[in-house]
């Protein structure tokens, strides 16, 4: 049984050898949503630890550069939602930490 079944996640993945974080984000958005993105600067960063697992969370400003509509590729479903709507979705703990960072950042930017 998959312990993350039914939970929502942000586009993410491992940074490959020789790849920058920004390049990894562009690749993940292309592979999972079929869109091209212009990646800007870091807006928040956090390390999430669970037992022996360590996940570095880095949030970037990004703009979809493609005129294509995002679509689910290699994922069960895809949704673009506004920050206030994130509370309507159940996330794994590491992604919940990302949500918390995003909401905190979004409130600071207003």
pTM of the model: 0.77
pLDDT digits (tens, 9 = 90+) for 2-24: 566 788 888 777 889 999 999 99
Both tokens assigned to 82: 């506004």
Sorted by where each begins, the domain ranges of the chain are 21-109
- According to the model, what pLDDT value does residue 91 have? 86
Among candidates 110, 101, 90, which has minimal Cα distance to 8?
90
Beta partners for residue 78, in sequence order: none
Both tokens assigned to 36: 């091209």
pLDDT digits (tens, 9 = 90+) for 49-108: 878 888 788 888 899 886 788 899 988 889 888 888 888 889 887 777 777 777 775 444
CATH of 21-109, one of 3.40.50.620, 3.30.499.10, 3.40.50.720, 3.90.79.10: 3.90.79.10
């Amino acid at each position: 049984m998959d312990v993350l079944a039914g939970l929502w996640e942000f586009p993410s993945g491992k940074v490959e050898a020789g790849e920058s974080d920004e390049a990894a984000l562009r690749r993940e958005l292309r592979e999972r949503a079929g869109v091209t993105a212009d990646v800007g600067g870091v807006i928040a960063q956090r390390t999430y630890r669970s037992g022996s697992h360590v996940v570095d969370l880095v949030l970037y400003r990004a703009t979809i550069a493609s005129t294509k509509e995002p679509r689910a590729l290699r994922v069960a479903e895809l949704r673009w939602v506004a920050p206030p709507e994130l509370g309507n979705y159940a996330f794994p703990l590491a992604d919940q930490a990302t949500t918390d960072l995003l909401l905190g950042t979004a409130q600071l930017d207003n």
